[in-house]
Amino acid sequence: MALPADRPQLSEEVAAALRGRIMSGELRPGTRIRLEEVAAQLGVSITPVREALLTLRGEDMVELEPRKGYVVAPLSKQDVLDLFQLQGDIAGELAARVAERITGSQLDELALTNNLLLRAVRARRTDDIEHLEFAFHRGINLIAQARKLSWFLHVATRYTPARFYAADPGWREGVREDHEELLVAFAEHDTTTARAVMTGHFTDGAQLLIKHLDGLGVWH
């Protein structure tokens, strides 16, 4: 997957690509990250890769070892659970606020986005699934009108390997059910259910990822 050379903040896109590969187990803990290989794979120069690795080092995603260079930092099951629990807690609070205040027109807009997402799911269009899932949750966060809380959620969800989920049949089925329950809870202004469904959406995602990483033997 080559990244467009003229995109601004190219190092951020490289960092996002590497986060996804690390969190999905494609790059395992202890694996050496070769700058030239990453640059060639993504179709960029060495500079944005080096900048991305500095960013990821600050996030404890990679470590710099003497005479070895950058390697993937340790990642445990508890790390995954912690990341997704944090996401779920914040997203659940935002969903509860949406259930309190959502209008009919806002609900219709969310339902439209969800319908487009379901079409992409049926067609197994991974790129569209990833984009529309983001759009659905972004719509929820905007309705909540909690700028700082939404920002914290945005930071936390950087560590969600979106492409892995978009390609997983089990996740695709689960997202259909979760979104339907959410839309019903929003329509009924049911804050308790909205919070529970949204939180579960993330914690279920953690279990799915852990099962996947277990199968890869990442923890060994």
Per mean pLDDT, which range of 8-22, 44-58, 79-93 is the poorest?
A: 8-22
Q: What integer is the mean pLDDT of 66-87? A: 94
Per-residue model confidence (pLDDT) at position 9: 84
Per-residue model confidence (pLDDT) at position 137: 96
Q: Band of the pLDDT at 170, cuts 50, 70, 90?
A: confident
Per-residue model confidence (pLDDT) at position 107: 98
Cα 77 to chain centroid distance, Å, stands at 17
Per-residue model confidence (pLDDT) at position 2: 52
Q: Which CATH architecture has domain 10-72?
A: Orthogonal Bundle (1.10)
**Mean pLDDT taken over the chain:** 93
Cα 4 to chain centroid distance, Å, stands at 21
Residue-wise pLDDT tens digits, 5-25: 444 489 999 999 999 999 999
Per-residue model confidence (pLDDT) at position 30: 93
Q: Which of 38, 33, 35, 22 is nearest to 74 (CA)?
A: 22
Of the candidate CATH numbers 1.10.10.10, 3.50.30.50, 1.20.120.530, 1.10.357.10, the domain formed by 77-216 belongs to 1.20.120.530
Q: What integer is the mean pLDDT of 31-42? A: 95
Domain residue ranges in the chain:
10-72, 77-216
Tokens standing for 205? Answer: 């995602």
Whether the predicted pLDDT of 84 surpasses 50 = yes
Per-residue model confidence (pLDDT) at position 67: 84
What's the predicted TM-score (pTM) here? 0.88
